Amino acid sequence: MGFTMGLNLLLLVAMVATNILSLYHLSSNIQSKPPVAPPVPDHLLHQLQTIRATINHLTRLQPPAPPSAKAKKSTVTIPSDLLLYTHLSPIASSCKDNPDLLHQYMSYTPFSLCPSDSSVAESLILRGCHPLPRRRCFSRTPSSIPTSLPKTPFSTIPEKALLWNNYSCKSFSCLSQSNPNLGFDMKVEQSRFLDFKSDLDLPIPQFLQLTKTSKSVIRLALDIGGGTGTFAAQMKLHNVTVVTTTMNLGAPYSETVALRGLVPLHVPLQQRLPVFDGVLDLVRCGHAVNRWIPVTMMEFLLFDVDRVLRAGGYLWLDHFFSKRADLEKVFQPLIWKLNYKKVKWAVANKNDASGVKNGEVYLTALLQKPISR
Ligand SMILES: *[C@@H]1O[C@H](CO)[C@@H](O)[C@H](O)[C@H]1NC(C)=O
Ligand SMILES: *[C@@H]1O[C@H](CO)[C@@H](O)[C@H](O)[C@H]1NC(C)=O
């Protein structure tokens, strides 16, 4: 299980890397042109052309029909809903790189129950196909629904209110046994983000005290890669609203966040953050954001975080890890490009087996965006 999750994560990062590199490539092409703004931005034209090319490509694409099916269906090609949708509305240009998955996702019977294919959607999104095209089918739902509000965001989660059939674990106890740190054991979650065990920890009460001292009010935050939403849960107890981005990698993370009365955003790391400029008081980057992300992508991610933070807002890097030399030569200069005030900057050796083997360190940083530039 742990191995599968690790592999999933590795795959995710590889895909993110590919997508971001192509994005970066696109942007650096733009930068190398003269700085005169054209009336219609080139990249927009490029996107439109890509989408048009996708439609053309998909129109020509033949599904791999088994020989026995040939007699029955002689003219079946692309799901008609996909063709219709791509004419009506944009889908991500990288969808075109995965025509087979996209074909599989859009092969469904309209106006009936959707296939049990949430893992296909997940795979597409991780490959940069986001937004996905919409479909006209009814999503699958569990038959048991909770009848009362959770008392706290750490209350026992009703197991029957989730769809389990597409995961190798079919219960919370199975998930917790495979790895107690996945975020599904509420007894463990209850005390997370509260303890100070080393300098790498920034307990929430201490964080709130710091912000209070600098007369900086924290109302709204985004937790990137927040798993089951425990950071949001702890902050809710302080009346702070936190939105959590999470993916359903091998476990029902999104539904778990929702059942805790919190907001799950199904958004991959490479996605532009779905909020307007300057509206957030805090962005926290947890374990999902670390050295696996290519440097160019990290740069775009950090600048997007800067975009959504208000003046005086905070960026919190929690246990970011990399090789020590990379932190000094690559990531530290990258982070400092933002010109934020270093409220906290703690670096310490990563003492687990792979950390020791690779000479890795953890960084926990709390950085404050300047009031004016
Ligand atoms: C998901 O679950 C359904 C129903 O149990 C099953 O038919 C389908 O093959 C599963 N899909 C995957 C990818 O596990
Ligand atoms: C949160 O809000 C409730 C209701 O307004 C209030 O009773 C409670 O004291 C607040 N908690 C904190 C930690 O501010």
The whole-model pTM stands at 0.80
205 shares a domain with 321: yes
Q: Which of 165, 169, 170, 249 to mutate to test the pocket of ligand 1 (most atoms within 8 A of CB)?
A: 165
Contact 121, 105 (CB under 8 A): yes
In whole angstroms, what is the distance from residue 20 CA to residue 216 CA?
A: 34
Question: For residue 119, which atom of ligand 1 is closest to its CA?
Answer: 13
Domain residues for the domain of 308 are: 191-225+269-368
Helices 2-31, 42-60: inter-axial angle, 10-degree rounding: 130
166 assigned to some structural domain: no
276 assigned to some structural domain: yes
175 assigned to some structural domain: no
Please tell me the predicted confidence (pLDDT) of residue 12.
47
115 assigned to some structural domain: yes
237 assigned to some structural domain: no
* Each residue's pLDDT tens digit, 146-199: 988 899 999 999 999 999 999 999 999 999 999 999 999 999 999 999 999 999
Q: Which residue, judged by its Cα, is nearest atom 6 of ligand 1?
A: 116
320 shares a domain with 202: yes
Q: Which residue, judged by its Cα, is nearest atom 14 of ligand 2?
A: 238
118 shares a domain with 204: no
In whole angstroms, what is the distance from residue 19 CA to residue 30 CA?
A: 17
Q: From ligand 2's centre to the CA of 208, what distance in Å?
A: 14
Q: Which residue, judged by its Cα, is nearest atom 12 of ligand 2?
A: 238
217 shares a domain with 111: no
> How many CB atoms are located within 10 Å of the residue 336 CB?
11
Residue 238 in contact with ligand 2 by CB distance below 6 A: yes
208 shares a domain with 107: no
101 shares a domain with 199: no
130 shares a domain with 211: no
305 shares a domain with 210: yes
Q: What's at 186, amino acid-wise?
A: M
Q: Which residue, judged by its Cα, is nearest atom 12 of ligand 1?
A: 166
207 shares a domain with 103: no
How would you write the pLDDT of the chain (373 residues) with one tens digit per residue?
444 555 454 444 444 444 444 444 444 444 444 444 445 556 556 655 665 565 555 555 444 444 444 444 445 577 888 888 877 777 888 898 999 999 999 999 999 999 999 999 999 999 999 999 999 999 999 989 898 889 999 999 999 999 999 999 999 999 999 999 999 999 999 999 999 999 999 999 999 999 999 999 999 999 999 999 999 999 999 999 999 999 999 999 999 999 999 999 999 998 999 999 999 999 999 988 988 889 999 999 999 999 999 999 999 999 999 999 999 999 999 999 999 999 999 999 999 999 999 999 999 999 999 998 8
26 assigned to some structural domain: no
Please tell me the predicted confidence (pLDDT) of residue 77.
75
289 assigned to some structural domain: yes
Q: How many structural domains does the chain have?
A: 2
CATH of the domain at 280: 3.40.50
346 assigned to some structural domain: yes
216 shares a domain with 361: yes
Concatenated DSSP letters of 291-349: TTS-HHHHHHHHHHHHHHEEEEEEEEEEEEEEEHHHIIIIIHHHHHTT--EEEEEEEEE
Domain end point (choices 97, 119, 140): 140
Q: From ligand 1's centre to the CA of 117, what distance in Å?
A: 7
Please tell me the predicted confidence (pLDDT) of residue 91.
83
342 shares a domain with 207: yes
In whole angstroms, what is the distance from residue 282 CA to residue 222 CA?
A: 6
135 shares a domain with 201: no
* Each residue's pLDDT tens digit, 244-255: 999 999 999 999
